[in-house]
Amino acid sequence: MGDLVDWANNNKDKIHPVKYAADLHFKFVSIHPFRDGNGRTARLLMNLALTEAGYPVVNVFPDEESRNKYMDVLAKSRRKNDPEIFENLIGEYTEKALKNRIKILELNEHNIEQARKETNL
């Protein structure tokens, strides 16, 4: 666990934030320090790293297909000892979260403009 903390402290500003967050998740799950809750803790650490870097929270989507894809990619990445496989998935999730954030901001902008027109401001 100490090696993970050292890695996290030494690489936070050296690696792209999305790659760093995915690798932090991957490394934590690979250590598997707790009897229960390792996945939840890993996703929390990943999202902490993402939000500290200004990215939105990435959700592992609750539908069964998405969850299975997440679990399969994580297992494949661990089996092949190739974090890039998992990094790509987290990159996709991050891109989707960013696109959703943009849609929300555009909708907010539209709603503000509509309110201005309706109130003659």
Q: Which residues are catalytic?
A: 32
Tell me the torsion sign for CA atoms 105, 106, 107, 108.
positive
Consult the annotation and say whether 51 binds a ligand.
no
Consult the annotation and say whether 54 binds a ligand.
no
Q: Which of 73, 69, 60, 55 is nearest to 18 (CA)?
A: 55
CB 68 within 8 A of CB 50: no
Q: What angle do CA 49, 35, 27 make, to 5 degrees?
A: 35
Furthest C-alpha separation in the chain: 61
Consult the annotation and say whether 40 binds a ligand.
yes
CB 27 within 8 A of CB 41: no
Contacts of residue 75, defined as CB under 8 A and 6 or more positions apart, other chains included, come to none
Consult the annotation and say whether 94 binds a ligand.
no
Consult the annotation and say whether 36 binds a ligand.
yes
Consult the annotation and say whether 37 binds a ligand.
yes
Binding-site sequence positions:
36-43
For the annotated binding site for ATP, the residues are 36-43
